Structure formats: C-alpha cells, structure tokens
C-alpha cells in the first residue's frame, strides 16, 4: 500500500453572473441578394410603403473586428420614401444596446434627419447625421426633443461603428440614451464616457421597445448605407468582436473547470484566463500530486516574465492581484458557436474570481467585465477522485478525501461483487489521501473501488488493461 498524503481538499461552489446568460436578440447583416427590397426579407414598411423602397446593395460594410464585417450585403437609405422596421422581442425595464455600421455617401445640412430609431409611433433612440463643411456629424435624440450632435469630424465615404444604449425604465420621463461612434476597434466594455449623452430629457417614452426602424427622411440628398445591426441587453451582445453566450464553471475535487461558448468571433487570437483570490484561506496542501492534464491547458506553466514555474500550490496570493493562469487559443474569425474550456488545477481552498481577457490578432485586448465568477468554499464531503491512470496496468493512483478523522476502508471488488483486495482499513485523519493500487496478479477487467467512512460510501469504476 502506498503512503498516505495529507492535506485539505477544497470543494467549491460557483456563482456566475446572470448577465452572462444574455444574448444577441437581433442581428441583421443583410445577407440577401442585391436589389431585394427589405420588405421581402422580413422587414415591414410603416411609412410611404413602396415609394423608393429600401433595398439591398453591394458591398456589405467592412469594419475590422466586427462579427458581421463582410457578411452579406448592406441596406441603402436613399433620399426620401419608404421607412421600414423589424420586430424585436419586447424589452422593458432594461438596457437596450443597438449597434450598426454606417457609411454616409451624402448627408443633409439639416439637423432634423434621423435614419435609425427604435419603435414606431413613439420614436425613441433617434440617430441623426448631418453634413457641415465637407465633414459629417452624428446626432442623437432620446425622444421628440431636438437632437444633439457630435463635432463634425467624421468623413463621408467611411465606415463607422455606431452604438446606442437606450435605458428603458417603467414610468415617464426617465429613460436614458447614450451614444457612441467608433472609427476603428470595438471596446469589449462600454466606455465610461459616451460620445453623446447621457440624455435624460423629458419626452414621450414607450412602454416597451418592440422594433428597430430604418428611416428615409425628407432630404433629397441623403445617401446612407447601413449594415451589421446587433441588438442586445448588454454591451457585449451588441457588437463585441467576441460574443460570449455562455460562461460556466464546475468543480471536481480541487480542479475548477471553466467553460465558455462564443457565438461569433472576428480576429480573435485567444483568451487569457485570470484568477483573483478574494479571501485566502491558509491550508496545508502538501503532497497533492499533479494530475494528468488530459491534453487540456493546466495552470502549471512557465511564467515568461519571471521565468518561474507558476504553481497555485505554492503561490502567495495578493488578494488584490489578478494572476494570469493560462491561455486558450481562439478560433480567429468564426460565425458559428465555438466551445472552449480551461481547467484550473489543484486550486487551494479559498474564494476566487475568474475572468477572461480576450486578445485580438491585432494585439488589442480587453476584459469582458461581465465574465467574473466567484468561487467560495462549501462544506466538504467524502470524495473519491478518478484514479490516474485509468485504464491502468498494473498500478494506478487512488486519491480520496475524508471529512473527519474516522475509520476508512477501501475495498476492490470484481464485477461479480467479490472482494479482491483491501487497500485500506484503518483510522485516518481528515484531508486528502493518496495511495497506489497495485493490481498485480489480477486479470484484466473492470473493478469497483469502494471507499467507506462512517455511514458514507462512494464507489468508482476502474479498468485494468494488460
Ligand atoms: Ca452585411
Ligand atoms: Ca420610461
């Protein structure tokens, strides 16, 4: 029988930010044939139907890092005529984030022409553009009030990313709108300072947000191409180059497994995984041997900056410091869901937060602030970890945890229920224990390892393969 190895095993419960479960509610890349009217592609005309209808044009707008960049074609809002809208799932008492790409060929000098808005009837979140001295300015109005504009520093015939955050609140005169214009890059968190707003002026407000609309105004010179619409209830759901749809964590023994899914990616080099200890609990975990990492990225890695091996067992954590604990390559550019996972192995008992730093091929990086996870200890219980290796020949390592000092017994049984070995039968202390099971003399096959302590019993199947 192998020697006992002593220590503490942590069991952890995860708390995952609910906002991670949100998703993009509306997406429109105008992936339709050139010349098609939008009304034949799911949009509805709500003004001047059939007059100068809104049509699909080539090419689709390109914007580095945007998940819809170059996908399909685009829509042209030209001079005056038909206005079109599309239903979105009704949203109330929430932030509504709308983002889209815009390419202005020509604009009016009037300050009253909006071309994108939310809802019809009560137009809110009205987005404007006007021309001044050869340049253009973008504007925003929350409701019916006069728009406010950026400085006229933007160019005709250039692609910009527009983002609007319309905060809908029940009751009157309390909604808020913020407006952003980007000429390159996409911050993965909302900037602290908006290009325009927040606007909190009084004016008619809808009971919920139900549509997004494209408007061809009264100007006979306007010529605006829009594309790449995204609507969601968080910043990341409305234009972040990497759109997360899921981020979960689970704990087995001392290993924390993080899993996440991206819906879309554009120029994604990969993800750095970071961990921060929130409340250190000093524990003696000497002797916990490293497990097979199963081909996954382990938290044990060479730290390039200090050239020291990073090993969570021996790191003294600063409770304020985020530590980079691993890297997972991204998929580059993808418009289909991708699943990722990362295993943080042999985490010392304590409470932690995890976050993911997404890095673009361009080198730009940013944190998704909503991806924080906290990990806290939970009551421990009798645990029999998966043996390593398994299948094995002829020895394998059995690791288990006992909650308190008690008599523990480990028996090995064949599939017929006959006991073939007793690995342990004695009083042992609380903590993690390891021993070697040498199956010398036993035939190949499946066996059951049964750990009993007090009234509790756990069993694990092991496979001897000679
Ligand atoms: Ca497009
Ligand atoms: Ca309101």
Q: Who contacts 457 (Cβ-Cβ below 8 Å, separation ≥6)?
A: 382, 450, 451
Band the pLDDT of 278: cuts 50, 70, 90: low
What one-character-per-residue DSSP string does 437-458 give? EE-TTPPSEEEEEEEEETTEEE
Residues 141, 191, single domain; the answer is yes
- Note whether residue 224 is domain-resident: yes
What φ, ψ does residue 376 adopt, rounded to 5°?
Answer: -130, 155
Asked whether residue 136 carries a pLDDT value surpassing 70, the answer given is yes
Q: How far apart are CA 104 and CA 92, in angstroms?
A: 31
Residues 127, 273, single domain; the answer is no
Q: Closest ligand to 93 CA?
A: 2
Q: Closest ligand to 34 CA?
A: 1
Phi-psi region of 332 (alpha: psi -120 to 50; beta: other; left: phi over 0): left
Biggest CA–CA distance in the chain, Å, is: 92
- Which pLDDT tens digit goes with each residue over 421-460? 999 998 887 767 778 899 999 999 999 999 998 888 889 9
Is residue 398 within 8 A of residue 435, CB to CB? The reply is: yes
From ligand 2's centre to the CA of 142, what distance in Å?
11
From ligand 2's centre to the CA of 202, what distance in Å?
9
**Which tokens hold the place of 143?**
């409701």
- Note whether residue 5 is domain-resident: no
Is residue 25 within 8 A of residue 233, CB to CB? The reply is: yes
From ligand 1's centre to the CA of 119, what distance in Å?
22
Query: Which CATH number goes with the domain that contains 401?
Result: 2.60.40.1930
Residues 271, 223, single domain; the answer is no
Domain that includes residue 268, residue range: 12-20+241-377
Query: Residues of the chain with pLDDT > 90: what percent?
Result: 48
- Which pLDDT tens digit goes with each residue over 163-181? 999 999 999 999 999 999 9
From ligand 1's centre to the CA of 179, what distance in Å?
22
Domain stop point among 342, 377, 412: 377
- Note whether residue 6 is domain-resident: no
Is residue 119 within 8 A of residue 206, CB to CB? The reply is: yes
Q: What is the mean pLDDT of the chain?
A: 80
From ligand 2's centre to the CA of 168, what distance in Å?
6
From ligand 1's centre to the CA of 161, what distance in Å?
13
From ligand 2's centre to the CA of 182, what distance in Å?
28
Q: How far apart are CA 92 and CA 206, in angstroms?
A: 9
Q: How many structural domains are present in the chain?
A: 3
Domain stop point among 348, 377, 406: 377
Task: Give me the pLDDT at residue 318, please.
Answer: 40
Cβ atoms within 10 Å, residue 453: 22
- Note whether residue 1 is domain-resident: no
Q: How far apart are CA 129 and CA 108, in angstroms?
A: 8
Residues 329, 390, single domain; the answer is no
Task: Give me the pLDDT at residue 260, please.
Answer: 82
**Which tokens hold the place of 232?**
């969601």
Q: How far apart are CA 244 and CA 264, in angstroms?
A: 8
CA nearest to 27, candidates 55, 57, 67: 67
Residues 448, 352, single domain; the answer is no
How far does CA 269 lie from the centroid of its chain?
15
Q: Closest ligand to 225 CA?
A: 1
Residues 288, 262, single domain; the answer is yes
From ligand 2's centre to the CA of 170, what distance in Å?
5
From ligand 1's centre to the CA of 162, what distance in Å?
15
Taking 3-state DSSP, the helix, strand and coil percentages for the chain, each rounded to the nearest 5, stand at 5, 50, 45
Q: Closest ligand to 96 CA?
A: 2
Q: How far apart are CA 11 and CA 385, in angstroms?
A: 12
What does pTM read for this prediction? 0.54
**Residues with CB in 5 Å of ion ligand 1:** 29-30, 60, 71-72, 227
- Note whether residue 86 is domain-resident: yes
Residues 228, 359, single domain; the answer is no
Report the helix count and the strand count for the chain, using DSSP H and E: 0, 32
Is residue 205 within 8 A of residue 199, CB to CB? The reply is: no
CA nearest to 453, candidates 426, 422, 423: 426
Band the pLDDT of 8: cuts 50, 70, 90: very low
**Which tokens hold the place of 134?**
């050869």
**Which tokens hold the place of 298?**
């382990």
Q: How far apart are CA 233 and CA 126, in angstroms?
A: 18
Q: How far apart are CA 242 and CA 358, in angstroms?
A: 8
- Note whether residue 4 is domain-resident: no
From ligand 2's centre to the CA of 93, what distance in Å?
8
Least confident among 136-150, 154-168, 303-317: 303-317
Residues 125, 177, single domain; the answer is yes
Query: Which CATH number goes with the domain that contains 126?
Result: 2.60.120.200
Domain stop point among 184, 217, 233: 233
Band the pLDDT of 386: cuts 50, 70, 90: confident
- Note whether residue 3 is domain-resident: no
Q: Closest ligand to 69 CA?
A: 1
Residues 132, 188, single domain; the answer is yes
Residues 253, 300, single domain; the answer is yes
Query: Which CATH number goes with the domain that contains 351?
Result: 2.60.40.10
Least confident among 91-105, 140-154, 219-233, 400-414: 400-414
Q: Closest ligand to 203 CA?
A: 2
Residues 225, 271, single domain; the answer is no
- Note whether residue 333 is domain-resident: yes
Band the pLDDT of 366: cuts 50, 70, 90: low
Residues 32, 163, single domain; the answer is yes
Find the radius of gyration of the CA atoms of the chain. Answer: 29
- Which pLDDT tens digit goes with each residue over 230-258? 998 888 777 555 566 667 777 766 778 88
From ligand 1's centre to the CA of 229, what distance in Å?
9
Task: Give me the pLDDT at residue 195, please.
Answer: 94
From ligand 2's centre to the CA of 175, what distance in Å?
5
Q: Closest ligand to 209 CA?
A: 2
Cβ atoms within 10 Å, residue 239: 31
C-alpha dist (Å) from residue 189 to 214, 215, 241, 243: 26, 29, 11, 12
From ligand 1's centre to the CA of 28, what distance in Å?
7
From ligand 2's centre to the CA of 173, what distance in Å?
6
């Amino acid at each position: 029988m192998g020697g006992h190895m002593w220590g503490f095993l942590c069991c952890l419960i995860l708390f995952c930010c609910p906002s991670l479960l949100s998703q993009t509610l509306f997406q429109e890349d105008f992936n339709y044939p050139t010349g098609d009217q939008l009304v034949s592609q799911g949009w509805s005309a709500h003004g001047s139907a059939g007059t100068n209808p809104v049509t699909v044009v080539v090419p689709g707008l390109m914007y580095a890092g945007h998940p819809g960049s170059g996908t399909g074609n685009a829509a042209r809002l030209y001079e005056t005529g038909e206005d079109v809208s599309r239903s979105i799932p009704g949203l109330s008492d929430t932030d509504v984030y709308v983002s889209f790409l815009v390419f202005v060929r020509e604009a009016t000098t009037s300050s009253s022409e909006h071309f994108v808005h939310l809802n019809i009837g009560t137009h809110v979140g009205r987005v404007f553009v006007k021309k001044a001295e050869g340049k253009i300015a973008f504007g925003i109005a929350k409701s019916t009030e006069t728009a406010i504009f950026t400085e006229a520093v933007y160019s005709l015939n250039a692609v910009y990313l527009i983002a609007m955050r319309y905060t809908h609140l029940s009751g009157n005169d309390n909604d808020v709108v913020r407006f952003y214009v980007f000429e390159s890059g996409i911050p993965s968190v909302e900037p602290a300072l908006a290009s325009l707003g927040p606007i909190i002026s009084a004016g008619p407000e809808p009971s919920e947000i139900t549509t997004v609309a494209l408007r061809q105004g009264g100007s006979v010179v306007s010529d605006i191409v829009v594309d790449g619409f995204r609507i969601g209830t968080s910043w990341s759901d409305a234009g972040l180059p990497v759109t997360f749809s899921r981020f979960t964590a689970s704990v087995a023994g001392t290993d924390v497994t993080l899993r996440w899914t991206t819906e879309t990616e554009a120029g994604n080099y990969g993800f750095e995984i970071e961990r921060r200890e929130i409340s250190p609990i000093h524990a003696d975990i000497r002797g916990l041997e490293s497990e097979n990492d199963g081909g996954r990225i382990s938290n044990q890695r060479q730290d390039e900056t200090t050239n020291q091996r990073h090993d969570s067992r021996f790191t003294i954590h600063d409770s304020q410091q985020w530590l980079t604990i691993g890297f997972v390559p991204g998929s580059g550019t993808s418009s289909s869901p991708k699943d990722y996972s990362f295993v943080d192995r042999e985490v010392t008992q304590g409470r932690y937060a995890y976050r993911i730093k997404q890095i673009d091929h361009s080198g730009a990086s940013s944190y998704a602030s909503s991806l924080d996870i906290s990990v806290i200890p939970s009551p421990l219980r009798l645990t029999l970890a998966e043996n390593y290796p398994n299948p094995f020949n002829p020895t394998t390592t059995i690791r288990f945890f006992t909650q308190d000092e008690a008599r523990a017994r480990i028996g090995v049984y064949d599939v017929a229920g006959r006991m073939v070995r007793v690995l342990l039968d004695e009083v042992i202390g609380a903590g993690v224990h390891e021993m070697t099971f040498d199956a010398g003399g036993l035939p190949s096959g499946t066996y059951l390892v049964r750990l009993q302590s007090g009234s509790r019993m756990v069993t694990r199947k092991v496979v001897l393969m000679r």
